[in-house]
Structure 1
Amino acid sequence: MPDRPAPKRIKSMDELLMAVEPGSQATNIKGGVVHLKFSQVDPYPKHPFRLYSGERLDDMVASISNYGILTPMIARTKDNGRYEMLAGHNRMNAGRLAGLDEGDFVIKENLSDEEAWMYVIETNVMQRSFADMLSSEKAAVLALRHSKMFSQGKRNDIIAELKMLENPQYIKENGTSALIGQKLTSREKVADEYGLSKNTVARLLRVDKLTAPLKKRVDSEEFGIYPAVALSYIAEAEQQDIEKVLSKNEFKVDMKKAEMLRSYSESSKLNEKTAYQILSGEVNKKPKSTTPPPVKIKHKVYSKYFPADTKASEIERIVDEALEWYFSSKVKEETA
């Protein structure tokens, strides 16, 4: 395994911010923070939040150009000797745009995937307004809060750590304070925390079940939350088939199509071919009839040839004979 900096085991936030490990192999350790090349740090896989763009990104680049990256980023160690970003994707992106190729990191070791995920989520919740998040981003936040592995105690500790990194004067508030909040044990409490209805929370939790490409389509409003909920009950492999069809065509996904896709999935009939037939509308098209449409002959037409007292059956017989003669004569002309 490649050599990497060995940061000091941190026992408290005071040590994190103040301690220096004598003789450490890490480069430029200051206050428990390790200096790393950006090339050593990989982005968090399936990071659910979009990077800053536009004016917000421009402001961050300008600030970093003038003052550097003021708040250390957070990464965890990987088995291959590299690091995985937990908090700081936007800082690293803006730093690169500002001409930097390295920065300060707090390194986390022996984190579970669940704990790493909490760092990713909580950092972005602190930095962004929940109301301004995209649907898939809100879904990721709510899914964490609602998951069985969610720990309010761990969340409180992570929030406190993140706040102390931003502001060393921050004093951890009491666990019952409004900032930290009470333990969330139900969908109702999650809804209350974010000012949402229980039904909205339920729908957003379903959006989190979509594949990443379909989430992007929800975020860009190619289709709404209700069709998204229907699609979320479809298996991942089948969602990938749906995405293949959508990526090759400009089909719209409405509620009727989404429910039909789900129905086909439940009956094990959904694949790329049937997804195409549903999304194109081909399934609902009536087959062309091989029977000619009924024809009603107007009175002014047949009255020229038949007396008024002629029975309908007699008219039909004569018309049939006349048509038979007409078409047989036509065939003879074409073959002559």
Structure 2
Amino acid sequence: MVTRPTAKKVKSLDELLQAAEPASMPSKSGDNGILMIPFNKIRPYQNHPFRLYSDERLDDLVESIKSNGILMPMIVRRIESDENGYEYEMLAGHNRMNGAKLAGLTEGPCIVKDSLSDEEALMYVVETNVIQRSFTDMLPSEKAAVLALRHSKMFSQGKRNDIINELIRLENPEYKGSDETCSPLGNKLKSLDKVGIEYGLSRNTVARLLRVDKLIAGLKHRVDCDEISLRCAVDLSYLADTEQEEVEKVLSENEFKVDMKKTEMLRSYSANSKLNEKTTYQILSGEINRKPKSSSAPSIKIKHKVYSKFFSPDSKTSEIEKVVEEALELYFQTYPDRKEANTA
């Protein structure tokens, strides 16, 4: 068996924390204990749905790491080494790793997880962020990611509770844990209602956010930036990914506004297999709703001042039209170049 020179076991918690009282960190994980792993061997979680710290919060984290090191180990799962040399995938600790890199560190303490399912891995990613930041402070796409996992058919409340207990114990070793494995709301409530009550959302808002999770990354970003409302996002979520990409392309190349009328039309055209590059542009630009210019001749009104000068009040329309026609023929016979200019 080939040994892995890239990960070395921490000899002691004193070494890890560089602190006088290391008891706040567990000495072993449930799988392989705590390892110091080079950051160039850890890749971010693929399609990580949460934004990293920035500005003052990031600056504070960097300064803390410079002064105290990484006080709480990160959680990674082992993967097969890929072409970029990654051997681990980050599950819990993206901000710590980012802050540590900015602080000049090249490796950090990690709890290594083996044999995790993709669902369990996603639970670590999601629940870590729910614990670390308030759900109400999350962006719409981040809330959507949390709710999508919670509403997943593969969701396991028991696994979730185990993971939450583990994450809380990392922050507070005195925590005794909870044995609760089911929703205290009972089974009579429907899934959307249960999730909504847990996060303080209405059933309709939960349903809309679940649709947001089905958008491509570019459109999710526009929802987060308030360029696209939740109601409009719901309509766009029913488009195929290729159609969503075309919408994103048109929006990125122009300054078109998105409203319910446009997204409802996009969804309708998609449902009828009529949505393509051309119709997408026409809908988003508003061109498709503009009335075509009339090809018929404009109607001409004769002012009363002119009318009374040449015609009596009891003149018939046919008589007036005949006089006007004869007068125009005579005029253009006299000035033929003017006729050419008017018909060019």
TM-score interval, normalised by the smaller of the two chains: 0.7 to 0.9
Cα deviation, residue 7, structure 1: 9.4
The 1-side partners of 2:163 and 2:186 are apart by 15
2:219 to 204, 210, 214: 214
The sequence identity of aligned pairs, in percent, is 63
Query: Letter of the aligned partner of 2:72 in structure 1?
Result: T
1:272 to 253, 256, 277: 277
Asked if the contact 2:157/2:181 (under 8 Å) is kept, the reply is no
Structure 1 residues 323 and 234: alpha-carbon distance in aligned structure 2, compared to 1, 3 A threshold: same
Structure 1 residues 326 and 280: alpha-carbon distance in aligned structure 2, compared to 1, 3 A threshold: farther
Q: Which residue of 2 aligns with 1:18?
A: 27
The 2-side partners of 1:248 and 1:73 are apart by 40
1:302 to 290, 294, 307: 307
TM-score (norm 1): 0.87
Structure 1 residues 182 and 174: alpha-carbon distance in aligned structure 2, compared to 1, 3 A threshold: farther
The 1-side partners of 2:310 and 2:335 are apart by 22
1:119 to 120, 124, 130: 124
Query: Letter of the aligned partner of 1:296 in structure 2?
Result: K
Q: Which residue of 1 aligns with 2:249?
A: 244
1:286-326: CA deviations, max 9, x gaps? 11111132222122112111234422210111112223443
Cα deviation, residue 181, structure 1: 8.4
The answer as to 2:154 corresponding to 1:149 is yes
Asked if the contact 1:44/1:84 (under 8 Å) is kept, the reply is yes
Q: Which residue of 2 aligns with 1:87?
A: 92
Q: Unpaired segments of 5 or more residues in structure 1?
A: 9-15, 21-30
Structure 1 residues 135 and 167: alpha-carbon distance in aligned structure 2, compared to 1, 3 A threshold: same
The answer as to 2:323 corresponding to 1:314 is no
Structure 1 residues 266 and 176: alpha-carbon distance in aligned structure 2, compared to 1, 3 A threshold: closer
Query: Letter of the aligned partner of 2:133 in structure 1?
Result: R
Asked if the contact 2:169/2:175 (under 8 Å) is kept, the reply is yes
Q: How does 1:26-37 map to 2 (within 5 A)?
A: 32-37=33-38
Structure 1 residues 313 and 84: alpha-carbon distance in aligned structure 2, compared to 1, 3 A threshold: same
Structure 1 residues 36 and 6: alpha-carbon distance in aligned structure 2, compared to 1, 3 A threshold: closer
Q: Which residue of 2 aligns with 1:284?
A: 289
Q: Which residue of 2 aligns with 1:46?
A: 47
The 2-side partners of 1:299 and 1:103 are apart by 92
Other structure's SS at 1:35 match: strand
The 2-side partners of 1:319 and 1:39 are apart by 89
1:136-195: CA deviations, max 9, x gaps? 0001101111110000000001011111222222211231699x9878961111010011
Q: When the two structures are aligned, how many residues end up with a matched partner?
A: 318
Cα deviation, residue 56, structure 1: 1.3
Q: Which residue of 1 aligns with 2:264?
A: 259
Q: Unpaired segments of 5 or more residues in structure 2?
A: 10-24
Structure 1 residues 326 and 100: alpha-carbon distance in aligned structure 2, compared to 1, 3 A threshold: farther
Cα deviation, residue 272, structure 1: 2.2
The 2-side partners of 1:325 and 1:109 are apart by 98
Query: Letter of the aligned partner of 1:45 in structure 2?
Result: Q
1:101-121: CA deviations, max 9, x gaps? 110111111111111111110
CA RMSD of aligned residues (A): 2.6
The 2-side partners of 1:208 and 1:329 are apart by 74
Q: How does 1:57-96 map to 2 (within 5 A)?
A: 57-80=58-81, 82-96=87-101
Q: Which residue of 1 aligns with 2:298?
A: 293
Cα deviation, residue 32, structure 1: 1.3
The 2-side partners of 1:93 and 1:181 are apart by 39
TM-score (norm 2): 0.85
The 2-side partners of 1:324 and 1:113 are apart by 85
Structure 1 residues 316 and 62: alpha-carbon distance in aligned structure 2, compared to 1, 3 A threshold: same
Structure 1 residues 90 and 324: alpha-carbon distance in aligned structure 2, compared to 1, 3 A threshold: farther
